Amino acid sequence: MNNPLKVLRLNIIGVGPGDPELITVKAVNAAINSKFIFYPDVCGGKSRVAYDIIKNAVKLSGAKELPEEMFLPLEVEMKRSNGRNDDLYYKNAIKIIKKLKEGTCSYITIGDPMFYSTYYGLYNAIEDIRSDNFLKSGYELDINIINGVSSLHYALGLIGKPYIIKNGAVFITVPIKKKLAEIESEIKFIADKYPGPQVIVFMKAGAYVKDILSAFKRVCTAALTENRVKLYLIEKSKLVKDFAERDCLDFDYFSILIGVFV
């Protein structure tokens, strides 16, 4: 008789856009019942946002504070990874799988795991490892996705106006490594939709705000003059007022710029 495979359970938890009160009860319960909680450690401990959020969320829930030894950092690089991230994610996947043999583990990520998160690289690495060789070792991997509030939906809440409605188009894009002409063509694509409101969302827009504003001015000068285009910038979970008038257009990497054709 064949011995049944031992199931290793891994939770992938979205911890929301930054507010510990915006984490689901399901996410908090999964964290509390984990043997270990892995978190992305960006730039050698200088940025541990997901870690801080889950710690505060558990505290707000009234549960006992989670012991520090539960938390295990996983090094990742943001912005310019210089090709290191593939290797880092593979090593991180190995670390997780080893700890899974001791009990259920969780990996926490800012926002939602399936929406521009660090889970993308980790997922690919895990898929490489959970091959025939992994299954032959007598284990089966069960991954449980626990969604969080995405940065996009949080940003729309900060704007406070229900622009995304029936028959309206929404174009979500990332400007990184795109030429100005490509950004202009994306804006024109959504601008040509009719009737409004139509929405274009630039994720991770921080270093490209100047280019995006320039593209809007070239594509829809008249619409901007007539106030038929509204522009919003969200930086560090806050709505930035009069951002286009800043002398220095240097914003956080995760900033979101939203253009609405009304």
What percent of the chain stands above pLDDT 70?
Answer: 92
What backbone phi and psi angles, to 5 degrees, belong to 76? -140, 160
Least confident of 76-90, 157-171, 186-200, 228-242: 76-90
Least confident of 23-32, 157-166, 192-201, 241-250: 241-250
Q: Which residues contact 41 (CB under 8 A, 6 or more apart)?
A: 47, 48, 51, 73, 74, 75, 76
Average pLDDT of the residues of the chain: 89
- Tens of pLDDT along 116-174? 888 999 999 998 887 656 656 778 899 999 999 999 999 999 999 999 888 788 999 99
- Tens of pLDDT along 27-67? 999 999 999 999 998 766 566 889 999 999 999 999 999 99
Structure confidence at residue 99 as a pLDDT band (50, 70, 90): very high
Q: What is the pLDDT of residue 245?
A: 82
Instruction: Tell me the helix, strand and coil percentages in the chain, rounded to 5.
Output: 40, 25, 35
Region 249-258: mean pLDDT is 89
Q: What is the pLDDT of residue 21?
A: 95
Q: What is the pLDDT of residue 248?
A: 75
The edge-to-edge listing of strands for the beta sheet with 170-173 is 170-173, 198-202, 256-261, 229-235, 238-240
Q: List Cβ<8 Å contacts ≥24 apart for 191-195.
A: 191/219, 191/220, 191/223, 191/229, 191/261, 193/169, 193/261, 195/167
Q: What is the pLDDT of residue 110?
A: 92
Q: What is the pLDDT of residue 148?
A: 96
- Where do the domains of the chain lie, and which CATH numbers do they carry? 6-149 (3.40.1010.10), 152-261 (3.30.950.10)
Q: What is the pLDDT of residue 231?
A: 95
CA distance 30 to 147: 12
Q: What is the pLDDT of residue 247?
A: 72
The reported pTM is 0.87
